[in-house]
Amino acid sequence: MSDRPGYVYVIHNAAWPGWVKVGHVLGVPPAVKRVLQKRVSNYNVADPHKGFVVSESFYAACALVAEDYAHKMLLNYQRGDGEWFACPVDEAQRIVREACRIARLRPSDRGSYFETAIREERNRMNSDTRKIRKEDVTKQERLPDVADTARAAHQIIQYLLESMAMPDEKLETAARAVQRRLDVLGGRNDED
């Protein structure tokens, strides 16, 4: 990869929250600013509200290397077409900042730092996933316990027994046996 300086940027649009584009521009600040404006205006052609903006751009001594590292770190998120990722803007900025920091290192030092960054990102993602799962579980409604289930089944069987004319004595006996068992499970006494 080329070791040319440039900027790695994050583009987003509020109309599509959670989606970002991470790309690079080679060059120095005045030229980079014009190129970024042109890229954003190209995206805004398809958006009547002109909502695409560069949320932030980060200088990288080796822009292609930094962009590549950022893309690899963003693979923990869902990847869309090309350079688009389903990632919150602030997370994408943090990842790009970290990738640019690693790209500033000597080429011989980059590998170990990058491996560490990837491992930390995966661990952080796993931790966030565990938090989300825990939050989802606590938000769920309480599952019915055995007694609730038994009471519901008892009501259904009671309704069926009362509404059906059962000529077959064996069927009625079996249904009543099930009802008694459900009464026991539901904590009901014969006096209820």
Q: Are strands 52-60 and 78-79 parallel, antiparallel or unpaired?
A: unpaired
Asked whether the beta carbons of 54 and 13 are under 8 A apart, the reply is no
pLDDT digits (tens, 9 = 90+) for 173-189: 767 777 777 777 666 55
Is the torsion defined by CA of 172, 178, 182, 183 positive or negative? Answer: positive
- Which residue in 66, 145, 71 sits closest to 103, CA to CA? 66
Q: In sequence order, which residues have a C-beta less than 8 Å from that of residue 6 and are 6 or more positions away? A: 24, 25, 26, 27, 32, 59, 60, 63, 64
CB atoms within 10 A of CB 144: 11
pTM to 2 decimals? Answer: 0.59
Please report where in the chains the tokens 């004595």 appear, as a residue: 169
pLDDT digits (tens, 9 = 90+) for 119-160: 777 777 666 555 544 454 444 444 455 566 666 666 676 666
- The more confident residue out of 60 and 192 is 60
Query: Residue 11: its pLDDT value, please?
Result: 94
Radius of gyration for the chain, computed over Cα atoms and rounded to the nearest angstrom = 31
